[in-house]
Structure 1
Amino acid sequence: MSKKRGLSLDEKREKMLQIFYESQDFFLLKELEKLGPRKGVISQSVKDVVQSLVDDDLVSKEKIGTSVYFWSLPSCAGNQEEREEALAKLKAIELKHKELKDEMLQYADNDPAAFEAMKNAIDDAHAAANRWTDNIFTLRQWCSNNFPQAKEQLENLYKEVGMTDDFDYLELSPAPLSSVID
């Protein structure tokens, strides 16, 4: 007596795909379990084989009401191959984009927009420093006017915190910017 060898999983998958491609129809699982043995796939393994095809996007599955329908058209297989090619191209393009983005970061110091932003930041910082200087002069004047008897003590406090006689507004010199441009 010779034992009959069963089909491998790949062979079962091919046989089930043939059922879909030949009929180009929609099936319930029960219908597939009846058609499977005609192609050599035992009915007990049809559910697992069809699920593996669904997992690999070779067969579509949709629940409509209480029923679950399965289908696959020959054009879907072609679309799947095209999709894989498109995904591979997309991945290559994304990789190239990342490489170019990294290269752009190397040249960020020479970016005119970044230079203009630095220039604006310098102007803003200069204005803020002079605004604080103005606030300090206003506070010193207020303290001198309201506490004339403590003027000498206040002058000593100012010197302790670093406000010497040469404390004054900042002048913005164009020299640092021109040296960056050259």
Structure 2
Amino acid sequence: MVIIKSKKRGLSVEEKRTRMMEIFFDTKDVFQLKDIEKIAPKEKGITAMSVKEVLQSLVDDGMVDTDRIGTSNYFWAFPSKALHARKRKVEELQNQYSDYNQKKENLHESIKKSKVGRQDTEERAALIKELTALRQKKDQLKTEIDKYKECDPDIIEETRQANKVAKEAANRWTENIFSVKSWAKRKFGFEESKIDKTFGIPEDFDYID
């Protein structure tokens, strides 16, 4: 069996947002920025330099609440509040998406009519330009809607359970590999380093915490 060690991929912005929401949902506690800056890199793999930016984006989107008490800012988010905020935002974005979709259809019709019996005109060029802008706005709104799905407490829980199953499966295979290595050392007297080199097992191969 050959183990291929792949280059670790960095987290996307949405993955960082989702993992940060997990901090609040799991603990149901109130934090200062310095607390999040300690927890996020260690427990969620979010780089320290991006913690403040990701947290602010969640505050701006109404997913995380914040208040200033004395000289310190405090942050918190509860699943029920986040779920309602997400639903309101998704509904708002879907309405905008629907409006832009309707405008796009209307423009399609206007462009069709402008083609009948006439050459290219300034009016038709303006309509095409507006249609292009509406298409871009439609794609942008769809991206926004998808972004809020990432922070859905139900989806976060599903992801957490899926990660748990994957982790258990990976550790089972790790146990199997260690067992085979142990058997090969006893049976044939192979050195562990030689087994690792022969089968491409990385030096830091180990169980997932």
Larger Rg belongs to: 1
Q: TM-score, normalised to structure 2's length?
A: 0.39
Q: TM-score scaled to structure 1, two decimals?
A: 0.45
